[in-house]
Structure 1
Amino acid sequence: MAAPKKSNSGALSWDQVDTVMLDMDGTLLDLHFDNHFWQEHLPVRLAQLRGVDEAEIRPWLIARTNAVRGQLSWYCLDYWARELEVDILALKQEVIHLISVHEHVEPFLDAVRRSGRHVMLVTNAHRHSLDLKLACTEIGCHFHQVVTAHDLGCAKEEPGFWDRLREQTPFNPASSLFVDDNLAVLRAARDYGIAHLRAVRRPDSRRPEMDTGEFPAIGDFRELGFPSEG
């Protein structure tokens, strides 16, 4: 079967949407913080703490993270604290100044909330990381619900996630919008039947735009258009 043709437009028919589900890292927040932490800061600090060369730590750390990529463990700070024998949250706080909200996110969230639609933050982030970022950005007030995959026991890209979410919070997939920067997650959402999907072209503001595959994508949230106030 031929792959679905991708639309280049992120524009949305808001009259077809009653539930809005949004990812956090890379979608609402700049992924630069996470990329810098895992790829730059953590290897340096691990090397310092263990008294070894950074060049020795990097390939070892990449292999360890790749082994659980896409699983709930990949996103779990408790898992990495045990595996690496280091306080991951404390190390994250050393670069907390890099946490930032993507441009035009907050006006979009304001408009969606005022429109009367149900707005949910749906993230794979571990609860400790989620709490840290919500405290830094203060975007939590825009959501009716904040859901982390750790509360449901499986990552968004894993089988079963969307059924568990729907059991906890009933929603109609046919009238739901979901925005995420992870293509594996978007494909799982599509397979579940979520009708309105958008990828993010530049999750990390310091890196080039990414290929969003078969999904229509946005450069920023203005491209979705803001819904009228309900």
Structure 2
Amino acid sequence: MTGAVAEHVPLTINWDEVDTVLLDMDGTLLDRHFDDHFWLEHVPLRYAAAKHLPLPRAKEFLYALFRSQENTLNWTDLDYWSRQLGLDIPLLKEEVDHLIAVHPFVIEFLLFLSQHRKGIYLVTNAHSKTLDLKLRKTRIGPYFTGIVSAHDVGLPKEEPAFWGKLQEKIPFVPERTVLGEDSETNLGTAELFGIRYLIHVGRFSSAAPVATSERFTTISYFSELIPRDGSMTVRL
């Protein structure tokens, strides 16, 4: 992600030409402040206490360890990190689960899609234990036609082959599909697969400034995708 000085990338969505909407979870539908705080602050605090380390030293060690698993399924595998760190990561998540929150206007957007009979799929890299916790806290699960974790697919969304594997689970037509993501990397792999409407969510965290993409159309809120003039067309 880049700073908010990036050039605007125009996009027009005719919702009559859309059958399927794929939506990421963390940073897209849900506030990523929870995840950032958990991995960057809460886990180091608990790890430092368990290992009798100064907090700055624990952070230095953990941040390097986290970076080593970026763009892999291990990155979001809570069981993997529990084994690696000797901590009960799912239990630690529950200690700060009050920070789990749905972004503004997400429910309104999901209702709009439902009213117009679109296939709505939550497609996330998140581990099943993370999914269970967040769906329980937010109660957004019933809005979806289906929910797919990358752990079920066997590849993270950062891998171009992910989208072909996903199509085996969700019968979507790329030319009639919208994808909402806060990750430019994931939008890039979807673009290679031919998904037509690619939406970058720039307001990924309530604790961070909006990030604007140079490659993809950026929105701050999903309300921007809901037509307001009685038509089914949105110009961004």
Q: Could you tell me which amino acid in structure 1 is paired with residue 146 of structure 2? A: Q
Asked if 2 retains the 8 angstrom alpha-carbon contact of 1:22 and 1:120, the reply is yes
Deviates more, 1:21-30 or 1:210-219: 210-219
The 5-angstrom pairing of residues 54-65 of structure 1 reads 54-65=55-66
RMSD: 1.9
1:196 paired residue number: 197
1:220 paired residue number: 221
1:121 paired residue number: 122
Give the alignment's TM-score, normalised by structure 2: 0.91
Structure 1 runs of 4+ aligned residues shifted over 6 Å read: none
1:148 paired residue number: 149
| Gap regions ≥5 residues in structure 2 | 1-5
1:98 paired residue number: 99
Q: What is the CA-CA distance between 1:15 and the residue it aligns to?
A: 1.7
Q: What is the CA-CA distance between 1:42 and the residue it aligns to?
A: 0.8
Asked if 2 retains the 8 angstrom alpha-carbon contact of 1:11 and 1:223, the reply is no
The 5-angstrom pairing of residues 45-56 of structure 1 reads 45-56=46-57
Deviates more, 1:217-226 or 1:188-197: 217-226
| 1:142-175 Cα distance to aligned partner (Å, 9 max, x none) | 0010000000111011132111110122110000
For residues 11 and 94 of structure 2, the distance between their equivalents in structure 1, rounded to whole angstroms, comes to 34
Q: What is the CA-CA distance between 1:211 and the residue it aligns to?
A: 3.2
- CA distance change for structure 1 residues 89 and 10 in 2, over 3 Å: closer, same or farther? farther
1:177 matched to 2:178? yes
| Gap regions ≥5 residues in structure 1 | none
| 1:75-111 Cα distance to aligned partner (Å, 9 max, x none) | 1111111111111011110000000000010011011
1:23 matched to 2:52? no
| 1:196-223 Cα distance to aligned partner (Å, 9 max, x none) | 0000111011111113231001110111
2:178 counterpart SS class: strand
1:40 paired residue number: 41
For residues 31 and 169 of structure 1, the distance between their equivalents in structure 2, rounded to whole angstroms, comes to 26
Asked if 2 retains the 8 angstrom alpha-carbon contact of 1:10 and 1:223, the reply is no
- CA distance change for structure 1 residues 219 and 9 in 2, over 3 Å: closer, same or farther? farther
2:148 counterpart SS class: strand
The 5-angstrom pairing of residues 155-170 of structure 1 reads 155-170=156-171
Q: What is the CA-CA distance between 1:61 and the residue it aligns to?
A: 0.5
